[in-house]
Amino acid sequence: MPRQRKNPWTTTGEVLIWVIFVALLFPAGFAGWAVGHYTSFPSKPSATVTHTITIGTSAATTSAATTTSAATTTSGGTTTSGGGGGNAAAGEAVFNSSGCAACHTFKPAGATGTVGPNLDTAPASDAKADGNMELAEFIHESIVDPDKYIAKGYSKGIMPSNFGSSLTSSQLNDLVAFIASGSSSS
């Protein structure tokens, strides 16, 4: 019985398929590496930055409700030179219960946050930069519409925009008075 000879095209075809596979594997691997490497380059910030900030808990909400009634009772004739027609002492309670300290540095509140601007100095200098606005007016606008003026070095969308609707008018005035009373005017 004669020995059957293998088809040479089958062996050549298999080898050719493997060569093409390996030849395409290297460019695909390099492309994947390049995309991954250059989209996560540390000195180049990504286009989308997400900051998750938890503001308040059930205890803070209860405290905020208490602050509201206290602010209503005490704000009758008590105003400070800080502006906004609010009570700075009540404003400190609003500052703490609303989670402002998580993002802002502010010495009168003992806050050391670094996500947002330093409230010891930024409001006064930014009010001047934003058309020389009155300090209390600028602070109020920055709380109610935080994306209207963006401090140098920061970007839109970092500060929550719901404080204008989640805080009462008296809480806003108290908070403005507290921040204005502690911000340096230089």
* Ordered alpha helix ranges (H), 77-149: 88-97, 122-129, 135-144
Which position has the token pair 């502690």?
A: 182
User: Residue length, the chain?
Assistant: 186
Domain extent listing, the chain: 10-39, 59-182
Q: What is the pLDDT of residues 4-14, one digit of tens each?
A: 766 766 677 78
The Cβ-side half-sphere exposure at 121, using a 13 Å CA radius, reads 3
Query: DSSP 3-state assignment of 118?
Result: coil
0.95 surpassed by pTM: no
Q: What is the pLDDT of residue 68?
A: 37
Mean per-residue pLDDT for 83-111? 86
Q: What is the pLDDT of residues 98-148, one digit of tens each?
A: 889 889 988 898 988 888 888 888 888 887 887 778 888 888 888 998 888
- Return d(Cα 112, Cα 57) in angstroms, integer: 20
| Check whether domain 59-182 has CATH 3.40.1360.10, yes or no | no
DSSP 99: T
- Return d(Cα 88, Cα 127) in angstroms, integer: 19
In degrees, rounded to 5, the angle at the alpha carbon of residue 76 between the alpha carbons of residues 81 and 165 is 80
Q: What is the pLDDT of residues 36-69, one digit of tens each?
A: 777 765 555 555 555 566 665 444 333 333 333 3
Per the prediction, the chain carries an average pLDDT of: 75
pLDDT more than 70, % of the chain: 70
